[in-house]
Amino acid sequence: MGFFKKLFSKPQDCLCAPVAGRAIPVSQVPDPTFAEELLGKGIAVEPAEGKVFAPCDATVDMMFETGHAVSLVADFGAEVLIHVGLETVSLKGKHFTIHAKNGDKVKKGDLLIEFDLDAIKAEGFNTVTPMLVCNSSDYSTFNTFVDKDVTNSDVVIELAK
């Protein structure tokens, strides 16, 4: 049965975790913009370290100058937004180091952003990091893998058109 499922199923594209930590459903993010999927479906990670990696091969569409967020266009077409923490834009770049710029071609696992996790927490910010597919309505299949510890080698979203 598994052979025929693989033979006749649609190919799936994958996104790996953008940060190491605990993957959770995006519905658990304490911000309605993310939790209610206003920008798209996705997952979130409670980070264990301050490094954001490319979740797939992609092009950097927009690296926010503050370093708190990045949008990517995956080589397979997904429009991906990674947002480090909640309300962290108000830090105006403090505690963030950017490693990629607009237009860069990146490979899965390339370092995009570093952030000082402890300093951001010490300033009172929630560091939960949502990753959304802003064009999730383009996909007929959207599977998430959450409630587990993840690294950038772990698939957290599978998509198929």
Catalytic sites, residue numbers: 83
Residue (of 17, 86, 93, 92) closest to 51 by Cα position: 17
Look-up of token digits 């598994």: 2
Q: Is 88 helix (H, G, I), strand (E, B) or coil?
A: helix
Residue (of 144, 110, 116, 109) closest to 130 by Cα position: 144
Phi-psi region of 110 (alpha: psi -120 to 50; beta: other; left: phi over 0): beta
- Tokens standing for 34? 């993310």
Asked if residues 111 and 123 have their Cβ atoms less than 8 Å apart, the reply is no
